[in-house]
Amino acid sequence: MTNQSQPSLGILALETGRAPGAPSTLPNSVFNPATFDFPTIAEMVPGAWVDRVVPGDSTLESSYIAAAQRLVERGAVAITSDCGFTIRHQAAVSAAVKVPVAMSSLLLVPLLLRQLPPKGKLAVLTFDSKHCGEDLLGLAGRSERERVIIGGIEDGTTWQNEMKRPSIPTTVAEIESDIAGCISQLRAAHPEIAAVLLECTMFPVAAPAIRRMTGLPVYDTATLYRMTFASVAS
């Protein structure tokens, strides 16, 4: 986190039962001060527990808007989020503030498909595939949708820990294990997978391990956050 007078990346944080935006020791975590070479600030969104945000509780939208506006007042020059499923609030938050808004790494799906060869597929690894429908992918047609393979870690250790109130800290090894098992199954069924996109903001901690394991390009929320802040950094 940072001095509020500095231009910063604003992060809309989930309610976890822990201090909002508290420094994290997990490598590549959005709340680890060593992850980015620019300052960040966070605002907890009241009521934004994982078990409400992931299924898509629409009543949270006004709270997300208010928290984004508070971040801008504190010096945020761009707004991001602590959960990929908040892409549902992308349009509303974008309309409410006059800074770039990137609520989810799922915004990268159309871009990444265009980077791949025509027959290449994109694996989207999500916190909960039951709630990650094609309506969240921003794709125009069936042919594009068929090139996206969605896999989730629902019912795994990471999922179980995060669904609790308060949430229970999960180790890097546990996150890596959940994701590695998922991507192994997806690649066995779909050898055409040519890149991986991690939806959950917890998953960047495992990105280096997944790159080594698969030999594939791996994109995540940290990828999007860096790009978004760089667009306004001076």
Domain 105-220 has CATH 3.40.50.1860: yes
Residues ≥6 apart with Cβ < 8 Å to 184 = none
Assigned token pair, 9:
């990346």
Domain 8-104+223-230 has CATH 3.40.50.150: no
Residue 3 CB coordination number (10 Å): 9
Residue ranges covered by each domain of the chain: 8-104+223-230, 105-220
Residues paired with residue 80 on neighbouring β-strands, in sequence order: 11, 102
Q: Give the Cα separation of 190 and 173 in Å (integer).
A: 25
Same fold, 8-104+223-230 and 105-220: yes
Q: Give the Cα separation of 189 and 27 in Å (integer).
A: 30
Strands (E), the chain: 8-13, 40-44, 76-81, 101-102, 121-126, 148-152, 193-198, 218-219
10 closest CA partner among 69, 91, 54, 96:
69
Tens-level pLDDT at each residue, the chain (234 residues): 444 567 899 999 999 876 655 667 677 888 888 889 999 999 999 999 999 999 999 999 999 999 999 999 999 999 999 999 999 999 999 999 999 999 999 999 999 999 999 999 999 999 999 999 999 999 988 889 999 999 999 989 998 888 888 888 889 999 999 999 999 999 999 999 999 999 999 899 999 999 999 999 999 999 999 999 999 987
pLDDT score, position 22: 60
CA angle 194, 199, 203 (to 5 degrees): 95
pLDDT score, position 35: 87
